[in-house]
């Protein structure tokens, strides 16, 4: 139970504006503001969910709104408890750290109750009862029970409890992001089986109409229970949710929501045969791609492009400062700059992103996703651009500095009026490469939950399992953006070089 | 009236001593030619007058601005102010012009007056156009240095130095980097300036030109002034080494 990465949508515009006005300054504690606002009116409760796990939590391609069984249950609970809900999307694996870090207050994402989780978190009463099943390719007939999984390979989400079930059965577990990709591996014959809950599997079968995989057997007797998860210490909140759930169960609201999605009541413990309503049935490949076009474009407009612009501008400013520090001849400035450049260029951007997003969060610097991605990308760009700028400044002949000195310029005027204009001409082609890299690197922001183009593609892919057309489409978007940027580079080079022969 | 005064200037680069106590003065409105074999320190003397090189010892005065290198102010800002005041008294013409390649001819002339001296753009532009006309470049105001010939570039370089209205013009081998056929046009401009009464210090190997313009000749050798006098030093030197140097240069020329 965990699907491809997802993103923080709601804080985006706010954060983008904040960052534009204060590039380089570190916006802290967007979360704290939500809390403060709660005093006056309804209590703000931040809900973490994947948004990519139909039919439980997903974005409806028609209305473009977050919906699903878990979402509707959560909304009903929120209404009953008098909460003001703020939904935040993230990968399943990221939801628990987000809960720990107080970025969210509750997870509504088909979280199964188990001992390990009960020791660390607070669960409400269950609102879903499901049982585990083993899924195989249609032509596999030698796997029908957990015992048959010994020595076989299964595809599972690493942190879902089904991974543990498979491992306990002696299977070699391959980590994947979500059921769709797992099913794909199964169809391609790269794994032998998947252990998952019956609801998700039935939904997959119904929505894709696939006859290439089948439910081959039960994964044990046990019925698993899914509930809302709160942080330890938030008993009051949990109790309010519990009370609401009890009311919703009693007055039939839960059953009603469940019927809407599954044609059966999964909110009670019985073994009803589920008639799963596909959320996507009937959509052709073309429809899927067409429906994803706008969300992806929006991802580019509100995510990829602002991320690129902000990170590039902030990164260049920092890079210039680093370059000047290195050229200052002052050891106290030169050495830290040198160390910084070496560290940035010597470590993976992905690791830098995780340090900024998850690491800094642990020491009290909780940046929203978008801000964290901006910060990490800016710091990264600065490391690379600093050397480019330094080399460009060094390439300006010494005579230019002397000529500026003899007409009375101080070092700052010399830099600004004489050296940098000449250095910029030399720096534009390599900085253009840095910019193109940056545009593509913004896709990494999806792993720290920032909403952007690639996130949108993953959302659409999780819903439809049309990986090839959707990811190719996303690649096309990136290519178009990069192509337009490279087109703009030539006139810029011409303009900066207009004085040259 | 003595405008330029250098006293006891010494300068070493590493363990190589280039200047070993150079003294001289230059009167207002005169042209002083510095001659000497390469490595004799002529260029270093010029660069000491505007502190492109900081002398190890000695004293420089131009007009009212003076810097005593034996007794520089401790305070960095005060030291900078003192040096800036001295620099403001001179304009420099480099051997390879060092024009700002990203500025037009006019832009090169405006940079100092507008950015440093803070003069109004209109007024500075009018002056700059006049200067360009004076060095024979009327109509080339908007040309970038790369679009000008070597001689034209050097004439813009001279005009740029003049644009700051300095008390003294320092010319460091202004024709050495030029093709022979372009030397004449630059020397003609310098001759005109001398005739107009500009105070100039000129490092040059053009002995015939030096004879025409020099009011004072300083012959440097081994980091000291080996011989000094009027233009007659160039025709009838007293010192043997001056004589040898001149005959070598004239043979070569």
Q: Which residues contact B145 (CB under 8 A, 6 or more apart)?
A: A499, B97, B99, B100, B101, B103, B105, B108, B153, B156
Of the residues A408, A428, A496, the best mutation for testing chain B's interface (the one with the most B CB atoms within 10 Å of its CB) is A408
Are A431 and A323 part of one and the same domain? yes
pLDDT in tens, A466-482: 888 899 999 999 999 99
User: Which residues are CB-contacts of A208 (< 8 A; sequence separation ≥ 6)?
Assistant: A183, A278, A280, A465
Q: Please tell me the distance in Å from A318's CA to the nearest CA on chain B.
A: 25
**Residue A399 contacts B, CB cutoff 8 Å:** yes
Distance CA(A379)–CA(A386), nearest Å, equals: 11
Please choose, from the candidates A297, A227, A305, the residue with its C-alpha nearest in 3D space to the C-alpha of residue A266: A227
* A190-201 pLDDT tens trace: 889 998 877 778
Q: In this structure, is the dihedral angle defined by the CA atoms of residues A225, A229, A234 and A238, taken in order, positive or negative?
A: negative
Same domain, A216 and A176: yes
CB A232 within 8 A of CB A121: yes
Q: Does B87 contact A408 at a Cβ distance shorter than 8 Å?
A: yes
B112 inside 8 A of chain A by CB: yes
Q: Residue B142's domain spans which residues?
A: 99-165
CATH number for the domain spanning A66: value is 3.40.190.10
Per-residue pLDDT reduced to its tens digit, B69-109: 999 999 999 999 999 999 999 999 999 999 999 999 999 99
Q: Which of A455, A434, A436 is nearest to A444 (CA)?
A: A455
**Same domain flag for A243 and A303:** no
Same-domain pairing of B125 and B55: no
> pLDDT value at position A10?
34
Inform me whether the C-beta atom of residue A397 falls under 8 Å from chain B C-beta atoms. Answer: yes
pLDDT digits (tens, 9 = 90+) for B236-253: 899 998 999 988 887 765
Do B174 and B151 fall within a single domain? no
Does residue A167 have a pLDDT over 60? yes
Is A205 in the same domain as A297? Answer: no
The yes-or-no verdict on residue A281 having pLDDT over 50 is no
d(C-alpha A423, C-alpha A430), whole Å = 12
pLDDT of residue A114: 86
Whether residue A185 sits in one domain with residue A163: yes
Domain shared by B143 and B187, yes or no: no
Contact A125, A223 (CB under 8 A): no
Asked whether residue A120 falls in the same domain as residue A145, the answer is no
Task: Please report whether residue B219 resides in a domain.
Answer: yes
Q: Which tokens is A320 given?
A: 């210039």
Same-domain check for residues B114 and B148: yes
Please answer whether residues B100 and A409 qualify as being in contact, where contact means their C-beta atoms are separated by less than 8 angstroms. Answer: no
Q: State the Cα–Cα distance between residues A434 and A482, nearest whole angstrom.
A: 11
Number of structural domains (chain A) is 3
Interface membership of B100 toward A (CB under 8 Å) = yes
Is residue A372 over pLDDT 80? yes
> Tell me, what's the pLDDT at A13?
40
Looking at the structure, do residues B172 and B85 belong to the same domain, yes or no? yes
In terms of domains, do A326 and A425 share one? yes
Residues A475 and A419 in one domain: yes
Q: Is residue B2 part of a domain?
A: no
Q: Is residue A7 part of a domain?
A: no
ipTM tops the 0.90 cut: yes
CB atoms within 10 A of CB B125: 17
Lowest mean pLDDT among A63-67, A125-129, A231-235, B131-135: A63-67
Q: Do B92 and A403 touch (CB under 8 A)?
A: yes
pTM, to two decimals: 0.66
What is the average pLDDT across B127-144? Answer: 95
- Residue B151 and residue B32 in one domain: no
Whether A412 has its CB under 8 Å from any CB of chain B: the answer is: no
Nearest CA in chain B to A498: B102
* Chain A interface disruption, residue of B80, B81, B111, most A CBs within 10 A: B111
Q: Which residue of A has its CA nearest to B111?
A: A407
DSSP A106-136: EEEEEEEP-HHHHHHEEE---SEEEEEEEEE
- Whether residues B115 and A501 touch (CB distance < 8 A) is answered with no
Name the minimum distance, in Å, from the CA of A497 to any CA of chain B: 8
DSSP A139-171: T--S--SGGGGTT-EEEE-TTSHHHHHHHHTT-
Contact A403 B100 (CB under 8 A): yes
Is A422's CB within 8 Å of B164's CB?
no
Length of chain A: 501
Residues of B in contact with A425 (CB under 8 A): 102
* Domain shared by B67 and B175, yes or no: yes
Handedness of CA A490, A492, A493, A495 (dihedral sign): positive
Last residue of a domain, one of B108, B130, B165: B165
| B8 found inside a domain | no
- SS3 of A16-62: HHHHHHCCCCCCCCHHHHHHHHHHHCCEEEEEEECCEECCCEEECCC
Task: Give the closest of B52, B91, B96 to A405, CB-based.
Answer: B52
User: A459: closest CA among A174, A58, A69, A135?
Assistant: A58
Distances (CA, A) of A273 to A196, A263, A270, A283: 16, 9, 9, 25
CB-based contact (8 Å) between A32 and chain B?
no
Nearest to A105 by CA among A122, A82, A125, A127: A122
B148 and B84 belong to one structural domain: no
Residues B156 and B109 in one domain: yes
> β-strands B224-229, B216-221: how paired?
antiparallel
Q: How many domains does chain B have?
A: 2
Length of chain B: 253
Instruction: Looking at the structure, tell me whether residues B77 and B173 fall in a common domain.
Output: yes
* A101 lies in some domain: yes
Contact B94 A397 (CB under 8 A): no
Does A455 have pLDDT greater than 90? no
Residues A248 and A379 placed together within one structural domain of the fold: no
Is position B15 within any domain? no
Could you tell me if A120 and A135 lie in one domain?
no
Bond from prior residue into A55 cis (ω within 30 degrees of 0): yes
- Tell whether the torsion through CA atoms of A279, A283, A289 and A293 is positive or negative: negative
Using CB atoms within 10 A of its CB, is residue B122 exposed (0-12), middle (13-18) or buried (19+)? Answer: exposed
Task: Evaluate whether residue B94 is within a structural domain.
Answer: no
Q: What is the DSSP code (8-state) at residue B15?
A: T
Answer with the one of B119, B142, B165 that is the final residue of a domain. B165
Q: What single-letter DSSP state applies at residue A91? A: -
Name the β-bridge partners of A107. A48, A229
A297 touches chain B (CB under 8 A): no
Q: Which is it for the CA torsion B34, B37, B41, B47, positive or negative?
A: positive
Report the mean per-residue pLDDT for chain A: 83
**Same domain as B68, residue B121:** no
Q: Could you say which of A405, A407, A499 has the minimum Cβ distance to residue B101? A: A499
Residue B191: which CATH number? 3.40.50.300
Touching check for B220 and chain A: CB below 8 Å? Answer: no
Residue among A403, A425, A499 whose CB faces B144 most closely: A499
Residue A179 has pLDDT above 50, yes or no: yes
Residues A120 and A258 in one domain: yes
Q: Phi and psi of A88, rounded to 5°?
A: -130, 130
Region of B206 on the Ramachandran plot (φ > 0 left; ψ -120 to 50 alpha; else beta): beta
Q: In this structure, is residue A489 part of a structural domain?
A: yes
Q: How far is A405 from chain B (nearest CA, A)?
A: 8
Question: Is the pLDDT at B113 greater than 80, yes or no?
Answer: yes
Q: Is A500 on the interface with B (CB under 8 A)?
A: yes
* Domain end residue (candidates: B117, B150, B165): B165
Q: Give the pLDDT confidence score for residue A183 in this predicted structure.
A: 85
Contact at 8 Å (CB) between B34 and B174?
no
* Domain that includes residue A55, residue range: 12-126+227-277
Same domain, A297 and A352: yes
Question: Is residue B1 domain-resident?
Answer: no
Angle, alpha carbons B30-B246-B157 (nearest 5°): 45
**Whether B138 and B186 share a structural domain:** no
Q: Which residues of B touch A413 (CB under 8 A)?
A: 115-116
- Is there a contact between B52 and A422 if contact means CB atoms under 8 Å apart? no
* CATH number, domain containing residue A460: 1.10.3720.10
């Amino acid at each position: 139970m965990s699907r491809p990465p997802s993103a923080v949508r709601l804080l985006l515009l706010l954060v983008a504006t904040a960052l534009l006005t204060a590039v380089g300054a570190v916006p802290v504690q967007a979360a704290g503001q939500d809390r403060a606002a709660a005093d006056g009116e309804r209590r703000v409760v931040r809900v973490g969910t994947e948004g990519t796990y139909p039919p439980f939590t997903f974005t409806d391609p028609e209305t473009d709104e977050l919906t699903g069984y878990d979402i509707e249950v959560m909304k009903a609970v929120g209404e009953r408890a008098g909460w003001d809900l703020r939904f935040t999307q993230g990968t399943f694996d990221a939801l628990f750290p987000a809960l720990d870090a107080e970025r969210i207050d509750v997870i509504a994402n088909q979280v199964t109750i188990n001992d390990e989780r009960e020791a660390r978190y607070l669960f409400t009463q269950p609102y879903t009862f499901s049982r585990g099943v083993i899924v195989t390719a249609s032509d596999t007939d030698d796997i029908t029970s957990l015992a048959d999984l010994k020595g076989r390979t299964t595809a599972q989400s690493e942190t879902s409890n089904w991974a543990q079930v498979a491992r306990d059965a002696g299977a070699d577990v391959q980590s994947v992001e979500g059921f769709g990709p797992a099913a794909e591996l199964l169809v391609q014959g790269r794994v032998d089986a998947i252990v998952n809950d019956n609801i998700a599997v039935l939904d997959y079968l119904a929505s894709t109409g696939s006859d290439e995989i089948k439910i081959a057997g039960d994964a044990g007797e046990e019925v698993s229970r899914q509930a809302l998860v709160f942080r330890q210490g938030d008993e009051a909140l949990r109790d309010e949710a519990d009370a609401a759930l009890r009311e919703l169960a009693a007055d039939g609201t839960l059953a009603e929501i469940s019927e809407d999605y599954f044609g059966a009541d999964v909110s009670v413990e019985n073994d009803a045969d589920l008639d799963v309503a596909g959320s996507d049935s009937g959509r052709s490949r073309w429809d899927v791609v067409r429906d994803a076009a706008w969300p992806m474009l929006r991802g580019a407009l509100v995510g990829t492009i602002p991320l690129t612009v902000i990170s590039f501008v902030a990164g260049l400013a920092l890079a210039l400062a680093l370059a000047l520090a290195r050229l200052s001849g002052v050891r106290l400035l030169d050495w830290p700059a040198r160390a910084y450049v070496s560290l940035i260029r010597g470590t993976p951007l992905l690791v830098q992103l995780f340090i900024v997003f998850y690491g800094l969060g642990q020491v009290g610097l909780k940046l929203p996703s978008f801000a964290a991605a901006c910060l990490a990308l800016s710091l990264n760009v600065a490391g690379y651009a600093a050397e480019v700028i330094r080399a460009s400044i060094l390439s300006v002949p010494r005579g230019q500095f002397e000529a500026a000195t003899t007409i009375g310029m101080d070092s700052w005027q010399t830099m600004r009026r004489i050296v940098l204009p000449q250095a910029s001409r030399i720096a534009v082609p390599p900085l253009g490469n840095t910019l193109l890299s940056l545009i593509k690197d913004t896709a990494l922001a999806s792993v720290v939950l920032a909403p952007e183009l690639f996130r949108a593609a993953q959302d659409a892919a999780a819903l439809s399992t049309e990986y090839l057309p959707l990811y190719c489409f996303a690649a096309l978007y990136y290519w178009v953006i990069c192509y337009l940027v490279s087109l703009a580079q030539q006139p810029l080079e011409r303009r900066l070089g207009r004085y040259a022969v | 009236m003595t405008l330029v005064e250098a006293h006891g200037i010494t300068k070493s680069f590493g363990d190589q001593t280039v200047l070993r106590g150079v003294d001289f003065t230059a009167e207002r409105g005169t042209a002083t030619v510095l001659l000497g074999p390469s490595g004799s320190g002529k260029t270093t003397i010029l660069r000491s007058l505007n502190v492109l090189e900081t002398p190890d010892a000695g004293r420089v005065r131009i007009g009212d601005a003076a810097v005593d290198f034996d007794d520089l102010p401790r305070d960095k800002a005060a030291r900078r102010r003192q040096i800036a005041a001295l620099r403001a008294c001179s304009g420099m013409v480099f051997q390879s012009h060092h024009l700002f390649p990203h500025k037009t001819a006019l832009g090169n002339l405006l940079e100092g007056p507008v950015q440093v001296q803070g003069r109004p753009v209109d007024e500075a532009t009018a002056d700059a156009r006049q200067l360009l006309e004076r060095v024979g470049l009327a109509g080339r105001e908007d040309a970038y240095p790369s679009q000008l010939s070597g001689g034209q570039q050097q004439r813009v370089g001279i005009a740029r130095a003049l644009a700051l209205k300095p008390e003294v013009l320092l010319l460091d081998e202004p024709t050495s980097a030029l093709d022979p056929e372009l030397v004449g046009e630059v020397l003609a401009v310098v001759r005109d300036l001398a005739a107009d009464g500009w105070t100039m210090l000129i490092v040059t190997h053009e002995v015939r030109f030096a004879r025409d313009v020099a009011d004072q000749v300083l012959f440097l050798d081994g980091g000291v002034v080996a011989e000094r006098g009027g233009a007659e030093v160039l025709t009838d030197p007293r010192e043997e080494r001056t004589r040898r140097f001149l005959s070598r240069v004239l043979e070569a020329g």
